[in-house]
Amino acid sequence: MSLNPPLTAWRGKTVWLVGASSGIGRATAHALHVRGANVFVSARDQQALDVFAAEHAGAVTLTLDAGDAASVKTAAQTVLAAGPLDLVLYCAGYYREMRATEFDLDEMLRHQQVNYVGALHVLDAVLPYFVDRKAGHVSLVSSVAGYRGLPKSLAYGPTKAALINLAETLYVDLQDSRVGVSLICPGFVETPLTAQNKFSMPALISPEQAADAILNGWARGRFEIHFPKRFTLWMKALGLLPAALYFPVIRRFTGL
């Protein structure tokens, strides 16, 4: 049984992607544009958005800082004024590796502001509209890093865990409202964020492969869309281990 109404016919639908200047967001915006959707793309990088618009006729760019509520609200007003909004995808993200021995409060708060608070700003701007309309779809990009604690993920992991809980609670609360909710948990995807990693990333995939997996998940009405399965299923299995087993396994696997 599908948890959401399947999303398959994109022609003429309006979508807003926040965090679409590169990586998964950009690739998904491209895939939706190809399928005939009316695409609004937002990010802080105006130049990158302009390049996207030049390559995708009709796409509308709205520069914003997801951490700034007023900026998000202004952009949302432009999107909603253009006609019915069918889906919003929050894929803005920030990542710097951190261990507890190098605790940096400013970096911790920066992760929280972009990865989690930004999602709240978007929800504040569009959720009442979806609820009143009794239609629409909210999709949040989290990460397998949010499943359980991982080394070097002190700042990043907790924000992604928060998004997982947020999406689950949104679904519980909205299941009778006809507003769809989906949670996207990628493994390693080749993006500017993962380019910082100095270790070998298992099952690394391209942003285009990620976008295909997301659209396939939406088409199947999935709540959680995780990929690539050859990696994420292992992460899910590890997450089921009791703490006495989980921590030794992670230490052995990562060497940290």
Residue 134 has phi, psi (to 5 degrees) of 60, 40
177-214 burial, b at 16+ Cβ within 10 Å, e below that, comes to bebbbbbbbbbbbbbebeeeeeeeeeeebebbbbbbbb
Tokens of 95: 């990542």
DSSP conformation class of 98 = B
H or E stretch at 54: helix 46-55
Q: Where are the beta strands (DSSP E) in the chain?
A: 14-18, 38-43, 60-63, 87-90, 137-141, 180-186, 224-227
Tokens of 171: 């679904």
Active site residues: 156
Residue with tokens 């390693």: 188
Tokens of 184: 């996207």
Of 137, 161, 188, nearest to 24 by C-alpha is 188
> What is the torsional sign of CA 184, 158, 166, 242?
positive
Of 81, 85, 43, nearest to 64 by C-alpha is 43
Instruction: Give the span between the Cα atoms of 26 and 40, in whole angstroms.
Output: 11
